[in-house]
Structure 1
Amino acid sequence: MTRAEFLHLMLVGGAGALLGSQARAQSGVAERQPTLGSRPAYDFWFTRLMYESGDWDVDARMPSNLIDALIQYTTLRVDTKERVLPLADSRMLTQPFCYLAGHKLVEFNADERRNFERYVRNGGFVLVDDCNHDIDGLFAKSFEREMASIFGEGALAKLPKKHPVFDAFFKFDGPPNTAFELNGWGDDIVHDYLKGIEVGGRLGVLYSNKDYGCEWDYDWRNKRFLAEDNTKFAVNVVIYALTA
């Protein structure tokens, strides 16, 4: 879907119409929205996934900043509160968008592995961010090993710079850099790619070594001091997750 088509649907039918025709149509995923009477209460809410093996509770201010960007740039009805669910909890299967991050080991237990695979294969979307922003650290190696064990070797692949996620709302020529990369932290590499796992031609996992979580981890009220809003790409990620 082009940005023009998205904006047209938002203006004509509203966010509920857009999501009703696309996101909730994902086969196998349960109804995504809590309801208030007969009317869905929200079009989007942010869900952070807890997992037993690592430090899942990172980048505490990142969700509020992402939420602020959605409110600023779209007409989505957005829940302003972050939700946190264990990956092993079956309630995560009904979420429109999940976030998983950390610095340490990623080693899913049986329930976590089962839910992650079921969620992704049935139309869910997980943004995964390596807070170490490297390719050979503990988080990166262990997470990529988990993905290979669940989805097969090679399932997690580099995304081309023309991938629809880079043009889902704002236009980017590939993934925007982060200050942490440019300052030479992590592996001293500026990663010019993101990775993902596609199911049926649609991304179910978007995986970043760029540390977007830390890049967006500041008080949203300080955004006005930035020359360019660095959370715009977060809007792209969410819109892709809801409409692709």
Structure 2
Amino acid sequence: MTASSPRPPLFPTPRTTPTRKPQRYTNDREALYDILDSALYCHVGLVLNGSPVVLPTAHGRDGDALYLHGSTGSGNLRAAAAGTDLCVTASLLDGIVYARSLNNHSMNYRSAVVHGRAVPVTDEERKTHALRVLSEHLAPGSWNYARVPDRKELAATQVLALDLAEASVKTRTGGPSLDVADRDAHTTWAGVLPMRTVFGAPVPADYVPEGITVPEHVSARASGPATGRTVRPPS
């Protein structure tokens, strides 16, 4: 398959087959990519020491590899590296849906769920590449501006790659539904309150001397939509 060829659709599995509202699910792989690339972080769930644990985690995507990282001292990452099943979720809230009945209140959203077992990234070149993907997803432009990780920092960092082979995408768009019982409630407002998250003005660290300006890759994001976008490193 060439780089310009369409990606194959997501293949349903027992863990990704919808049980409710199947019309909100899609097997469009590009929709999965869009959600993962737009969400600035994800949540990683696993069973650790017999108890479920769900933690917010930075991520970055390169093709069908989802990269996760953290300290080598992290118990949940060590368990993930050892082959524990993971459930990774990313969600974007686009609006609150107000209906004439509370039962029909809802949300407009985009969500992705990925199942699988992560593989540790140990090769130094690929590990550096993965950390660059992660960095450029959360803070585009930083890799070529700030100091890159040295060998000691690389050794202290656990990097995992999760294949996007088993995933599901669910979305809701549009306005509220209307039950027959509520059609005559003409004084009750209904509609959608759109929602978006934005960045504020950059705040310099207290150790930064006066005269050092905010770099373009930071100032360009100020007051703009707070959505991530994976920036592919040059080959």
TM-score, normalised to structure 2's length?
Answer: 0.24
If each structure's helix is expressed as a fraction of its own residues, which one has the higher value?
1
Q: Which has the higher strand share?
A: 2
- Which has more radius of gyration? 2
